[in-house]
Structure 1
Amino acid sequence: MGSKTLVCPNKLKRAALDPEGLHGLYVPYWTFDANLKASYQGQRGDYYYETQTYNSNKGKRTRQVRKTKWTYVSGNISGFVDDILINASEKKQREIPPKVGHWNLKELVAFNSKYL
């Protein structure tokens, strides 16, 4: 059997050798769930094309011209949104980078001051 070599950045190697060099970051978030209901009304635009004939220096030609047919619409919509995350930190207002910010929300814990 051959041996396998793990390739990783030097900072990660040093952190593995000296775990005291690792520092946690506590960034609180609120998570919201909501049942949503809304009524709407307005106009919907559907595109269609008409063929137009025009004169050019090469004679009669045709082209497709896009038009919009407007129709009145109204209705109701409802739905549920789950676990919308809102940053609750006053000091860390910037977003967590996407590669780091994928949390398993089923493993969330309630606030406890020992985390600070």
Structure 2
Amino acid sequence: MASRVTQYRSVAPASVEQRGAVRHPVSVSRGSVRRHGTEPTDALLHDISIFGCRIQADLGAERGERLWLRFPGGMPVGATVVWADQGFTGCRFDAPIDRAAVRALALPAY
């Protein structure tokens, strides 16, 4: 049976961060992004992990939309828009990318 003391105890706030891996700032920031049926658009890559990235581009993409991303020296990567806000877009890759590719793009401090 619960007492008044246990019934109203404080609970720590939930963590908002739900990523599966740490995002790393990038040293190479140029890339391109293409929506289905459109020409590639230049994009700035802000951070990346093996599971996803954050880009800045004039896309107008909406949550759930499919994109193709191309990073310097790499093959196109399929991704899904998880969120979009004020020119920034958070993407989840269709399949995790190679850790070596993340290391090649990430700042040397990481």
Q: Which has the higher strand share?
A: 1
Please indicate the TM-score interval, normalised by the length of the shorter structure.
under 0.3
User: TM-score, with normalisation over the residues of structure 2?
Assistant: 0.20
Larger radius of gyration: 1
User: TM-score, with normalisation over the residues of structure 1?
Assistant: 0.19
Structure with the bigger RCO (C-alpha within 8 Å, sep 6+) is 1
Q: Which has the higher helix share?
A: 1
